[in-house]
Amino acid sequence: MKFSDGSELKTLLPKIGHRIFNIETGSFTYPMTNETPIGTTTFNENGEFITLISKEIIYEDVEFYNVVTDKHMNIFTNTILT
């Protein structure tokens, strides 16, 4: 996925990987599904409102992490709130 601030985010299969904060719905949605269309607004670690400008499915190995904490479930991944 590419965003209006130039950032990119790789994720896993459509309903397995990172969800992003979707300002239009007020919830975290899976970006590679219809619930997160091109033009969805989210924000980055600088507090800037940015939009999803493109999505592309690429089949490749992706290194990923499953972060779990005692208090928080949300983190910034490649500058995007996930």
Task: Quickly tell me which residue has 């928080």 as its tokens.
Answer: 72
Encode pLDDT of 16-45 as tens digits: 667 889 999 999 899 889 999 999 999 898
Identify the band that residue 58 occupies on the pLDDT scale cut at 50, 70 and 90.
confident
Where do the DSSP E strands lie in the chain? 2-3, 20-22, 27-29, 41-43, 49-54, 76-77, 80-81
Does position 82 have pLDDT exceeding 70, yes or no?
yes
d(CA 81, CA 75): 6
The pLDDT score that the predictor gives to residue 34 is 92
pTM: 0.79
